[in-house]
Amino acid sequence: MERAVAAVAEEPIQLADRVNRIAVSPTMAVMAAAEQLKAKGVDVADFGAGEPDFPTPEHIKRAAIKALEENKTKYTATPGIAPLRQAVCDWHAAQLGSSYQPAECIINVGGKHAIFNAVCSLVNAGDEVVIPAPYWVSYPDIVKYAGGKPVIVETREADGFALQAADLERAITPRTRMVIVNSPSNPAGGVIPNAEFEKILGVCQKKGVWLLSDECYSHFTYGDAKPFSIASVPGSKSRLIIAGSCSKTFSMTGWRIGYVLAPQPLVSAIGKLQSQSTSNPTSIAQYGALEALRGPMDSVGTMLAEYARRRERIVAGLRAIPGVTCNAPQGAFYVFPNISKHYKADMSNDTAVSKALLDRAHVAVVPGEAFGAPGYIRMSYATSLDRIEEGLRRLERFFAGAQ
């Protein structure tokens, strides 16, 4: 009997194709490696994490505590509580100039879930989805999970890593179903200029392709770049999907609240998908999000001012390292320096450089390859100025060949 059990246990598990098509997020892998070192007591200068280092603002936490105390702990409507859907529409209209009704809005379990559900509701097996590189790591895998084919379009450092409408148009084929844009972008901090964004929308409309705009970093812009939604353009809505999130804007990553704004039939389809998978997002998190969207926005401004200071410092520090070049990001909270001049026999690509940085200098970064952009590394500056200074000192020593 015992032998029979052992034989069964050794058999490899045949997983479903849809899961075999995707991989664990490489950014999560870096975080795990850094965590392992930290657990051994190593002082890691951690630029890996893509999340704000600020606590969730107090008034938002209070609202969720109040909801808990009032026993708002039951199932809610699958697409989210009615006041939250209304608040998303009102907030988006006031902040970004759109005009959506609650029937065109659904609350999801974070922005990633918003994108996942939108892609799964629209993409059929073999459909092509255009993704500009460098891209957020999850886009290609979400498309693959849905059975679609990611079509990667390179952007240029000289264009601030922003997609150009002409490059998009060249990539569109009769099989193209969707294009996913992210402005401001993770990992490169690229912001698509408003006029170019309108051209991109025009290309999508002309070709009958859905435009999915991931606005997760909408409120973190620097210099001349300002928060902008393509949904503010008259006539934009028919083939447009807005995916938004409370995660970064309000420092609410753990709360898992995102949303989709899109034509009502698509929102209904996403609701159907949600009704057979996650059901509603967590009830008390929805009440926190309601306060985030209806309450004061001061904390967003405070966070942005701090990110702006850190951005100045980290860009200047990286540019001072011989052989490293660094574009000034226009948004989000990442820098994306090119480190390819430092390749050598034992560090011949960005993944090897990132590994050596963690092992030898105890600096955690994410290799550009993970974002479809070899030659670069991503560093999040959602960490204190002190840690940025320490990290820069280590990088200087490392790239000077001292480690």
> In the complex, which residues of this chain contact ligand PLP (CB under 6 A)?
50, 110-112, 136, 182, 186, 214, 216, 245, 247, 253, 258
The tokens 């693959």 sit on which residue? 144
Q: Please provide the size of the chain in residues.
A: 403
Local structure of 191: helix, strand or coil: coil
In the complex, minimum distance from the CB of residue 159 to ligand PLP, in angstroms, rounded to a whole number? 18
Residue whose CB is less far from ligand PLP, 114 or 168? 114
Cα within 13 Å of Cα(13), Cβ side: 5
Residue whose CB is less far from ligand PLP, 100 or 136? 136
In the complex, minimum distance from the CB of residue 161 to ligand PLP, in angstroms, rounded to a whole number? 13
Residue whose CB is less far from ligand PLP, 136 or 398? 136
Residue whose CB is less far from ligand PLP, 340 or 380? 380
In the complex, minimum distance from the CB of residue 99 to ligand PLP, in angstroms, rounded to a whole number? 23
Residue whose CB is less far from ligand PLP, 109 or 204? 109
What burial letters (b/e) apply to 355-390, b meaning 16+ CB within 10 Å? ebbbeebbbbbbbbbbbbbbbbbbbbbbbeeebbeb
Residue whose CB is less far from ligand PLP, 327 or 340? 327
In the complex, minimum distance from the CB of residue 242 to ligand PLP, in angstroms, rounded to a whole number? 12
Q: Where are the alpha helices (DSSP H) in 40-106?
A: 58-69, 82-96
The rounded distance, in Å, linking the Cα atoms of 264 and 270 is 10
Burial class of 49 by CB neighbour count within 10 A (0 to 12, 13 to 18, 19+): middle
Residue whose CB is less far from ligand PLP, 118 or 171? 118
Local structure of 320: helix, strand or coil: coil
In the complex, minimum distance from the CB of residue 216 to ligand PLP, in angstroms, rounded to a whole number? 4
Distance of CA 191 to the CA centre of its chain: 14
Strands (E), 97-209: 105-108, 128-133, 149-154, 176-182
Burial class of 325 by CB neighbour count within 10 A (0 to 12, 13 to 18, 19+): middle
Q: Are 277 and 246 in contact (CB under 8 A)?
A: no
Q: Is the peptide bond before 26 cis (omega within 30 degrees of 0)?
A: no
Residue whose CB is less far from ligand PLP, 182 or 340? 182
In the complex, minimum distance from the CB of residue 136 to ligand PLP, in angstroms, rounded to a whole number? 4
In the complex, minimum distance from the CB of residue 394 to ligand PLP, in angstroms, rounded to a whole number? 25
Residue whose CB is less far from ligand PLP, 216 or 314? 216
In the complex, minimum distance from the CB of residue 291 to ligand PLP, in angstroms, rounded to a whole number? 17
Element (H, E) at 244: strand 240-245
In the complex, minimum distance from the CB of residue 69 to ligand PLP, in angstroms, rounded to a whole number? 26
- Beta strands 366-367 and 240-245 are unpaired
